[in-house]
Amino acid sequence: MLVFHAQNIRLHWLSKERVLVKTCTGYVPSDGLRQACEAALGCLEQNKGNKVLSDNRGLVPTAQADLTWIERDWAPRMAAAGWRYWAVLEPTTALGAMNVRRWVAIYRELGIAIEAFQDAGEAIVWLQRQPDDGVEPARRLP
């Protein structure tokens, strides 16, 4: 089910797999990125989900102000809403990959398990193997 769509970004909720899929296909302007992030939060809350697949193969660098907002505002709210498992298809650009590596460290601090994949099917299989219930409460960054 399509949850959100804007320039170069889409969110889908896979009901059967209970996975939120975010797909980036190029530069995502700030407004669209933040709207997508808020839509992702709402989708996880509504569906009591805890798994996200980010297809970041087409992601290009994100503005510093957006990175700061994601790290300090959005990511902690996502973790508090129940996000626990993140499968990532890494960007093909070096700068995009740097953004993802930066996020990995931050999200691990929040208690989110992260795995990188080259294949979306393998990523979905890994996510499906993760529990839906009984996860530890999210940690907060200092």
pLDDT in tens, 23-39: 999 889 999 999 999 99
> According to the model, what pLDDT value does residue 7 have?
95
Alpha-carbon gap, residue 142 to 133, rounded angstroms = 26
Q: Other C-beta atoms within 10 Å of 6: how many?
A: 16
Instruction: Judge whether 43 and 1 are in contact, CB under 8 Å.
Output: no
Q: Which tokens sit at 129?
A: 């193997």
Of 38 and 71, more confident: 38
Q: Is the pLDDT score of 13 beyond 50? A: yes
Of 97 and 85, more confident: 85
Instruction: Judge whether 65 and 98 are in contact, CB under 8 Å.
Output: no
pLDDT for 107-132, tens place per residue?
888 899 998 888 999 999 999 999 98
Alpha-carbon gap, residue 88 to 116, rounded angstroms = 5
Q: What is the mean pLDDT of the chain?
A: 88
Q: Is the pLDDT score of 133 beyond 70? A: no
Of 142 and 126, more confident: 126
Instruction: Judge whether 52 and 87 are in contact, CB under 8 Å.
Output: yes
How does DSSP classify residue 22? E
Domains of the chain: 2-129 (3.30.750.24)
Q: Is the pLDDT score of 73 beyond 80? A: yes
pTM: 0.86
> According to the model, what pLDDT value does residue 48 have?
94
Provide CB contacts within 8 A for 142, sequence distance 6+: none
Provide the CA 101 distance to its chain's centre, in angstroms: 13
- Name the H helices within 21-119: 30-47, 64-69, 75-81, 94-109
